[in-house]
Amino acid sequence: MSQLDVFSLDGRVAIIPGGGGAIGSAMAKALVGAGARVAIVDQTEEKAEAAAAPIRAAGGDVLALGADVTNEADCERAVAATVERFGRLDIIVNAVGGGAGRVLFDAEAYPRDAWDWIMELNLRSTLLATQAAVKAMIAAGHGGRVLNISSVRATLGINAGYSAYVAAKGAISSLTRQWATEWAKHGITVNAIAPTFVDTPQVAMLLDDPAFKAGIVGRIPLGRVGGTDDLTGAAIFFCSAASSFVTGQILGIDGGLTATQ
């Protein structure tokens, strides 16, 4: 018996919508490394499989599923396929989202279609996937873990056309607290991580601009943007027994950025 056993995910089953993406695939690899079996869900089975294949080749038990998690029926289907394959569901990590850098507009003229797209990608995806997963957790009666991905943008404005994204991430943080409150009676904890910029293809366009990157890094006390591996330790903590008495919390993973505000 080791003190590290509280972080073990042996016997646990996780579903990761967006698991084919940069952060989601790092989460999938980390949870498998901690002992979980994982269903990776992405827009197409091919995209999910591309993330699943290397984890499977390294010995992990991973299922790849194609589903549109902004669609209720797809979410129900993905959860059912996960339970059918692995026999249970303990954890959902919501890793679908982003898009902000593709729709930067002045606040006074923020277009409705861009607003709706960001809300759907970030907020509706998290809502519908979580509802489907949590219904299964409640029915099974053995508790569970929900981990959302918010952002420092939930609390910090940025002078760069981010209206829809800050609104969506603010809502994710609020929902994290609301769901924690409602689902505690089922033994389900709900937490979120709130990263600053993480070096991923989604934000490459922004970070490729030296002036923009210097502005961001200059405000981060630890002097760099994040990497996907900076997020995985917290994910294992929030998805394991180590965080049994922690719920409704938003953990900044931001190199100290929010500490300076």
Binding flag, residue 195, ligand NAD (CB under 6 A): yes
Binding flag, residue 24, ligand NAD (CB under 6 A): yes
Selecting among 86, 162, 165, 237, the annotated active-site residue is 165
Nearer to ligand NAD, 188 or 192 (CB): 192
Q: Give the footprint of ligand NAD on residues 97-136 (CB under 6 A).
A: 97-98, 121-122, 125
Nearer to ligand NAD, 8 or 131 (CB): 131
Binding flag, residue 149, ligand NAD (CB under 6 A): yes
In a 13 Å sphere around the CA of 117, the CA atoms on its Cβ side amount to 13
The answer to whether residue 110 is catalytic is no
Nearer to ligand NAD, 47 or 145 (CB): 47
Binding flag, residue 203, ligand NAD (CB under 6 A): yes
Q: Give the footprint of ligand NAD on residues 52-91 (CB under 6 A).
A: 67-70
Residues contacting residue 159 through CB under 8 Å, at least 6 positions apart: none
Binding flag, residue 40, ligand NAD (CB under 6 A): no
Residues contacting residue 246 through CB under 8 Å, at least 6 positions apart: 189, 191, 238
Binding flag, residue 200, ligand NAD (CB under 6 A): yes
For ligand NAD, the binding residue among 39, 91, 96, 235 (CB under 6 A) is 96
Binding flag, residue 255, ligand NAD (CB under 6 A): no
Closest CA to 190 of 137, 253, 153, 140: 137
What residues are labeled active site? 165
Question: Which residues sit at the interface with ligand NAD, rule CB under 6 A?
Answer: 17-18, 20-24, 42-43, 47, 67-70, 95-98, 121-122, 125, 149, 151, 195, 197-198, 200-203
